[in-house]
Amino acid sequence: MADVEDGEDSLYVLTAMVVTPGRFPGVFGDDYPAACAALGLLPAADGYGLVLGQDGAGARWTVVVDDVPLVAVAIAAWDCGMEYDLSPREETVVAALPGWPVELAVQAPGVPAPHDPEPEGDLAGLPRLAPPDAGGWGGPQRRLGADEIALRWAQWREETDTSEFTSSGPQEGQDEAAPAEITHAHPGVRRALGEAHGYLESPPPPGRVRSAFASGEARTLRVDGPGWSLVARTDDIAFVLLDEEPAQVLPVGRGDRLPALLEGLAALAPPES
């Protein structure tokens, strides 16, 4: 938690996140333009930083700033267990949006419990941010699930039974030399992999494919499309989540064709912020 100066308009900072073409929380959308639209923002080349906190009355606020490096440094420091006073300059503030886009387990000390500000005055036309329904299943929950797998890859990989993988060789009657979709027992997974393969020929909107450091030369990939999300490591397997399969995580074996698909997708990803 960052320290914030006292004052009537002070924001007690609880956490922060960045929204850039190469990095943004999946809760906002399948790609960077969709994420910006969810926040009522125009896509900016350098992206935005989001600072989540409470005002002196305890109201939830998400402050949007254009100083992405400052927010990224704060996040990196907090991830390392270090203190960092995140205090964006006033001239970097783009918007102040009521609510939080994700659920937070912490609250600022010495102020009332977190609550949304009253929708009056200038707030009437602003997007009101709220976490997705934890009991439901749809795009936001699917993408958040994929984000969680990417974050805890080692745990998910350890719990995956590789004996259940479907061969990724050619289907019956298919020319082995021809470009082919990776086979899988689930038609939804085949559709997702086919659409992901289509990105190699027709690049999708920015942020639809995102890449982050994993280990060594490997990258962790997050790929989204209509009704599906994929998370993978370029040196390993993949997992697919589907809108039509609530809370189900469907593994895809590496086989012969997945490596080329993952390497191709990694090449499409913008630089991570």
Mapped to the 3 state alphabet, what secondary structure does 121-178 carry? HHHHHCCCECCCCCCCCCHHHHHHHHHHHHHCHHHHHHCCCHHHCCCCCCCCCCCCCC
For the segment 173-190, the average pLDDT, to the nearest whole number, is 65
Distances (CA, A) of 112 to 53, 60, 262: 12, 11, 48
pLDDT of res. 183: 72
- Strand 238-242 and strand 93-98: pairing? unpaired
Phi, psi for residue 263 in degrees, rounded to 5: -65, -40
Q: Residue 260 contacts by C-beta under 8 Å, 6 or more apart in sequence? A: none
Radius of gyration, alpha carbons of the chain: 20
How many whole angstroms separate alpha carbon 45 and alpha carbon 36? Answer: 11
Q: What is the per-residue pLDDT across 55-103, written as a single tens digit (0 to 9) for each?
A: 999 999 999 999 999 999 999 999 999 999 999 999 999 999 999 999 9
Top pLDDT among 238 and 177 is at: 238
In whole angstroms, what is the distance from residue 132 CA to residue 146 CA?
A: 15
d(CA 251, CA 165) in angstroms, rounded, equals 7
**Structural domain spans, the chain:** 12-125, 139-268
5-49 confidence digits (pLDDT tens): 434 568 999 999 999 999 999 999 999 999 999 999 999 999 999
pTM attached to this predicted model: 0.86
Distance CA 97, CA 49 (A): 13
Residue 211, token pair as written in the block: 């890449």
Average pLDDT over residues 248-254: 94
103-148 confidence digits (pLDDT tens): 999 999 999 999 999 877 667 677 789 999 988 999 999 999 999 9
Judged against a pLDDT cut of 80, whether residue 162 lies above it is answered with: no
Q: Which residues contact 25 (CB under 8 A, 6 or more apart)?
A: 17, 19, 35, 101, 102, 144, 147
